[in-house]
Structure formats: structure tokens, C-alpha cells
């Protein structure tokens, strides 16, 4: 079946210097210092192989130093939330409106033994949650990032970071303008193929 064919070609790989994405059905021998995310995406987005997921994981690896509070908006398979926990985040909220994604993410969180750090919730962050964070990450689509940029501002501590991707290159300027208008400072713009990620900071 197509599912079996896809699994055949999904192999462990490095998503950052020490961050490894490993499908649950594959074996892997980590090097010293490696942090291995065991993932079964099921029907949810987030195997780690997509450029947008890879850019988000790489940025999280560079900017999580230990103890941060993270919010992962549109968590999908939970891969970014799990990666954050393995990188040393103190508390992670993984939220998604899709019940299938919430189920898959919850299973992957348990599989990686980070359920004491990662809380998975179903719903819209802006409707249900009043938490604030040090880093917010959103690997969704351009339209949602544009509409969320301003409301998300209040969920990020002053000086906190907003990592966003899922942005097709032709929409990059539009997303950047929305971030600037909402009060973020653009720290980095990264591109892989036809996709863009932004690292921005909430101004005080």
C-alpha cells in the first residue's frame, strides 16, 4: 500500500546539529549529545521531512537554552513540541483544532516520555488559553500566521520569540509586513526551496 511505501523511505535524519528525527519503526544509534525524536505522524502533519518543519526544529535548537515556556500552535504530530521538550524547555503547550492531530500528538508525546513537560490540548489558542510563553512556534499556513500575528503578541513575553513557518515564498513579504505591523522585530528570515521561516521577537 502507499502507506507502506512511504514508510519504507522515511529514515532517521538530523534536523539540526544534535536533533534527530527517527520514525518509530526504524533503528538508530545516537551519537553523544544527540536528542532523538521518535515520531509516527499517522494522519497528522509533521514527519520532520518537510522544509518548514526542519527550519522550525533548527531554530528551536538554536534558541532553547533550558527552562523556557513554549507554545506550539497547530502542533500536528507534536514533533515541534516534543523537540522543544528534548532540547530542555521547561513547559510546552501543544495545541491543535484537529482532534486527529491531538490524538496523534498525545501518542507521540507518551512515546517520547515527555508527558511531564508537554501538555496537548484541542482548540484554538486564542479562544481557550491565557498562557504566555518565552517562545511561540507556529508551522501552519500564511493566512493563519497573518491573522494570528497580532493576537498572539499578548501570549508572548516581552522580548520573547515567535518562530513561524508554513509560508510559501511568494507570501513571505506579506507575512513579514504583518509581523512588523503587529510589533515584532524580524531577527532572521530563512528559506529552503519554496518555503520561508521567520524568527521574530516581540518588542517590549
Is the pLDDT score of 189 beyond 80?
yes
Residues 94-97: contacts with CB within 8 Å, 24+ apart? 94/118, 94/119, 94/120, 94/121, 95/71, 95/120, 95/121, 95/122, 95/123, 95/124, 95/125, 95/128, 95/129, 96/44, 96/120, 96/122, 97/122, 97/123, 97/124
- For 33-56, write each residue's pLDDT tens digit: 999 999 886 655 656 678 999 999
Whether the predicted model's global pTM rises above the 0.75 cut: yes
Is the pLDDT score of 7 beyond 80?
no
- For 81-132, write each residue's pLDDT tens digit: 999 999 999 999 999 999 999 999 999 999 999 999 999 999 887 776 678 9
CA 200 to chain CA centroid, nearest Å: 14
Closest Cα partner for 142 from 173, 171, 162?
A: 171
**What is the 3-state secondary structure of 160-175?**
EEEEEEEEEHHHHHHH
pLDDT on residue 127 = 75
pLDDT on residue 166 = 94
Instruction: Report the relative pairing of strands 184-192 and 195-202 from DSSP bridges.
Output: antiparallel
Lowest mean pLDDT among 4-13, 69-78, 95-104, 114-123: 4-13
Mean pLDDT, the chain, whole residue set: 91
Amino acid at each position: 500500500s502507499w502507506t507502506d511505501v512511504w514508510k519504507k523511505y522515511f529514515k532517521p535524519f538530523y534536523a539540526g546539529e544534535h536533533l534527530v528525527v527517527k520514525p518509530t519503526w526504524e533503528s538508530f544509534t545516537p551519537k553523544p549529545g544527540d536528542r532523538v525524536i521518535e515520531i509516527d505522524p499517522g494522519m497528522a502533519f509533521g514527519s520532520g521531512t518537510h522544509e518548514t518543519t526542519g527550519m522550525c526544529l533548527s531554530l528551536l535548537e538554536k534558541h532553547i537554552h533550558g527552562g523556557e515556556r513554549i507554545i506550539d500552535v497547530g502542533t500536528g504530530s507534536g514533533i515541534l513540541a516534543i523537540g522543544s521538550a528534548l532540547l530542555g524547555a521547561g513547559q510546552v503547550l501543544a495545541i491543535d483544532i484537529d482532534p486527529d492531530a491531538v490524538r496523534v500528538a498525545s501518542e507521540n508525546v507518551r512515546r517520547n516520555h515527555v508527558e511531564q513537560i508537554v501538555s496537548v490540548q484541542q482548540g484554538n489558542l486564542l479562544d481557550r488559553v491565557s498562557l504566555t510563553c518565552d517562545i511561540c512556534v507556529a508551522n501552519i499556513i500564511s493566512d493563519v500566521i497573518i491573522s494570528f500575528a497580532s493576537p498572539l503578541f499578548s501570549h508572548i513575553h516581552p522580548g520573547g520569540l515567535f518562530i513561524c513557518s508554513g509560508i510559501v515564498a511568494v507570501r513571505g513579504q506579506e507575512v513579514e509586513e504583518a509581523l512588523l505591523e503587529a510589533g515584532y522585530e524580524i531577527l532572521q528570515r530563512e528559506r529552503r526551496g519554496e518555503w520561508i521561516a521567520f524568527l521574530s521577537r516581540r518588542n517590549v
